């Protein structure tokens, strides 16, 4: 009997901690997300004035991190290091720095995401709590819990957020002890951010399909293509980071001169169409607006340049836009509904680039509808296999 009391007590402590984490991270995600939306709208209104200032914004980011950031410019790599027990404590100053750095990057046109910031917020906050809980692996369990809260609060996809946090640290191993608190934190953070008015992206996908042999074959081929593109993105991002460090080891020079190149390309290609998150491209993909066949390629290149140069932000939302824009281009070639193939690309390129399997399928279900989950599972399984075992997260471990 004492054994069960002890176990339920531990579960209860994690559950209460998860509720607290979900509440706090949900509020922080909302603040971060709402300001980011405002920044994106403001930038689009004055793109011609703000985008040319991107190189100087980069210099300010470098100065900010050098003065007060110490090693926090490593960003999400610190989260992975802590999750794999290679780092004892995540510096708390990383939260305001990564938020401010990402806001600046987006204000001046950098092509970057936002999930990295949300995950860092949740992980840093919850890992500190976990270090005070007197149970084995408490810090790791709480770190995963915070990652789920960060992702769930920002995207309001709590099931996907839970499994993303469980899957992403180590490929081939799920930390099941973290499942319950991660689920609680993800749902609480998602509820809080929704209650506070942070908008959720969702599409009422309404297409008639049958799971016949021909459709399955088309989805398999699409999965291979999406898997190759996601794997290539992850590989090229890692390669670009290493190459730029080798050629321009001084971060100030790197971010300034590459920033000039990025600014020029952003202005050259439709005056800032490829700035920021890429949500404008996603909206175009699912609303029947103008989509160029090269949208996904340009967004692919500019996102890699932005992040490799040293600007702040995540990769996931640009990856969503790359996948959905590629899907729009491929749909007529396969004779499938445009919105459906865009949805497959949205989740499958994400699966491939992050080397995760369950979370992307659940993102598809939570964003586009659970009725299509069998199709999502099929394409994600294929894209996961054909990604070349690459990941945008350099700190991700793999168990063979």
How many Cβ atoms from other residues are within 10 Å of residue 92's Cβ?
A: 13
pLDDT confidence of residue 18? 96
pLDDT over 90 (residue 87): no
Domain boundaries, the chain: 8-195, 213-398
pLDDT over 70 (residue 65): yes
Fold of 213-398: Clc chloride channel (1.10.3080)
Q: What is the mean pLDDT of residues 301-317?
A: 96
pLDDT confidence of residue 11? 87
User: What's the rounded Cα separation, in Å, for the pair 204 and 207?
Assistant: 9
Assign 1 a pLDDT band (cuts: 50, 70, 90).
low
pLDDT digits (tens, 9 = 90+) for 19-51: 999 999 999 999 999 999 999 999 999 999 999
User: What's the rounded Cα separation, in Å, for the pair 53 and 262?
Assistant: 11
pLDDT confidence of residue 136? 81
Q: What is the mean pLDDT of residues 97-107?
A: 95
pLDDT digits (tens, 9 = 90+) for 182-229: 999 999 999 999 999 998 999 999 888 888 899 999 999 999 999 999
Class of domain 8-195: mainly alpha
Distances (CA, A) of 28 to 64, 153, 312: 21, 9, 18
Q: What is the mean pLDDT of residues 50-61?
A: 97
User: What's the rounded Cα separation, in Å, for the pair 270 and 142?
Assistant: 44
- Residue with token string 């790359």: 322
Query: pTM (2 decimals)?
Result: 0.95
Both tokens of 146, joined, read 């915070």
């Amino acid at each position: 009997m004492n054994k069960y009391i002890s176990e339920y007590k531990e579960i209860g402590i994690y559950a209460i901690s998860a509720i607290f984490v979900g509440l706090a991270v949900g509020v922080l995600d909302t603040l971060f997300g709402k300001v980011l939306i405002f920044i994106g709208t403001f930038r689009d209104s004055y793109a011609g004035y703000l985008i040319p200032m991107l190189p100087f914004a980069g210099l300010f980011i470098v100065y900010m991190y050098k003065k007060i950031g110490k090693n926090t410019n490593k960003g999400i790599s610190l989260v992975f290091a802590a999750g794999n027990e290679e780092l004892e404590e995540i510096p708390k100053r990383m939260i305001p720095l990564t938020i401010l750095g990402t806001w600046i990057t987006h204000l001046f046109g950098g092509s970057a995401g936002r999930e990295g910031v949300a995950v860092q917020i949740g992980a840093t906050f919850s890992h500190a709590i976990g270090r005070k809980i007197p149970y084995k692996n408490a810090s790791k369990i709480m770190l995963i819990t915070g990652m789920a809260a960060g992702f769930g609060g920002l995207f309001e996809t709590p099931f996907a957020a839970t499994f993303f946090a469980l899957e992403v640290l180590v490929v081939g191993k799920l930390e099941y002890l973290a499942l319950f608190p991660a689920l609680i934190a993800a749902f609480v953070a998602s509820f809080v951010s929704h209650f506070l008015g942070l908008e959720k992206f969702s599409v009422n996908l309404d297409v008639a399909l049958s799971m016949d042999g021909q459709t399955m074959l088309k989805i398999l081929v699409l999965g291979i293509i999406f898997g190759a593109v996601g794997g290539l993105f992850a590989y090229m991002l890692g390669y670009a980071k290493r190459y730029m460090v080798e050629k321009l080891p001084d971060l100030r020079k790197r971010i300034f001169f590459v920033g000039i190149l990025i600014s020029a390309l952003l202005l050259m290609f439709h005056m800032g169409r490829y700035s920021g998150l890429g949500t404008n491209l996603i909206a175009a993909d699912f609303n029947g607006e103008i989509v160029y066949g090269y949208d996904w390629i340009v967004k692919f290149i500019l996102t890699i340049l932005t992040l490799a140069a040293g600007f702040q932000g995540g990769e996931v939302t640009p990856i969503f836009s790359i996948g959905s824009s590629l899907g729009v281009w491929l749909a007529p070639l396969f004779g499938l509904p445009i919105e459906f193939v865009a949805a497959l690309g949205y989740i499958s390129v994400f699966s491939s680039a992050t080397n995760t399997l369950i979370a992307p399928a659940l993102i598809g279900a939570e964003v586009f509808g659970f009725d299509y989950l069998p199709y999502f599972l099929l394409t994600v399984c294929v894209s996961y296999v054909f990604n070349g075992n690459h990941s945008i997260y350099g700190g991700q471990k793999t168990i063979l």
